[in-house]
Amino acid sequence: MDKEEFSRIRELYGEEDVIPAHSFDNHVLEVYRNAKKLLEDEDVDSEVVKYSALLHDVGRHISGEESHAEKGAEKANEFLIEQLGKDSSFAERVSECIRFHSNRPHLKPPTREAEILWTADKMDAMGATGLCRFLLTLGAKNYSCESAVDILDRRVSEAEESLKDFGFDELIDGLNTLKSFTEQYKEENHVSN
Ligand SMILES: [Fe+2]
Ligand SMILES: [Fe+2]
């Protein structure tokens, strides 16, 4: 990917309605870095993974009630073909990764490239930094503490299961900060499991 393509992808995210904790610089670039790290040990189409990492959340501000993954997949497909001149099979493989990157709906990524994108995205929600971003993002959408913790709890169980399925067991420890946070919250607020 050349510099020109990179800046056009960045522009595609626009400036409107960006939640600072989930912006291109704070989140998307981090997912891109995570994806590149994961690619070091993978024999896959690395270009598909890299473009999908940079484009994966492009549906965030246009999805409304629809899934941002589905909207983003459509937008990325169109952009890759019409703006970057990529062939339709490449664009389809990238948009397939994007379509399956989200937790909602609960769909299993269909290719190894899609599993890598899923994992790279979730890695950015791990540890203290990930927890901070997650809570700030839900806060910006007016979620209550209870529902944020409830969502986090579900995400942690789903992530644990998927990381095992995808063979990324070594990343599971990254969920410990999130687990102790939700346990502590429930204890303080007398929430039963
Ligand atoms: Fe997303
Ligand atoms: Fe994301």
> Residue 80 — pLDDT band, cuts 50, 70, 90?
very high
What is the domain count for the chain? 2
Contacts of residue 63, defined as CB under 8 A and 6 or more positions apart, other chains included, come to: 70, 71, 72
| Listed residues: CB within 5 A of ion ligand 1 | 57
In this structure, the answer to whether residues 66 and 153 fall within a common structural domain is: no
Per the structure, the complete domain to which residue 94 belongs is given by 1-124
pTM, two decimals, is: 0.91
Tens of pLDDT, residues 6-39 = 999 999 988 666 788 888 888 999 999 999 999 9
Other Cβ atoms less than 10 A from the Cβ of 44: the count is 15
Distance (angstroms) between ligand 2 centre and the Cα of 112 equals 18
Distance (angstroms) between ligand 1 centre and the Cα of 2 equals 24
Instruction: Using the 3D structure, point to which of 124, 142, 157 is the last residue of a domain.
Output: 124
Tens of pLDDT, residues 112-166 = 999 999 999 999 999 999 999 999 989 988 999 999 999 999 989 989 999 999 9
Average pLDDT of span 49-60: 94
In this structure, the answer to whether residues 160 and 184 fall within a common structural domain is: yes
In this structure, the answer to whether residues 185 and 174 fall within a common structural domain is: yes
Instruction: Using the 3D structure, point to which of 79, 96, 124 is the last residue of a domain.
Output: 124
Residues 66, 70, 76, 79, CA torsion sign: negative
Distance (angstroms) between ligand 2 centre and the Cα of 54 equals 9
Average pLDDT, the chain: 90
In this structure, the answer to whether residues 16 and 109 fall within a common structural domain is: yes
172 has pLDDT over 90: yes
| Residue 170 DSSP one-character state | G
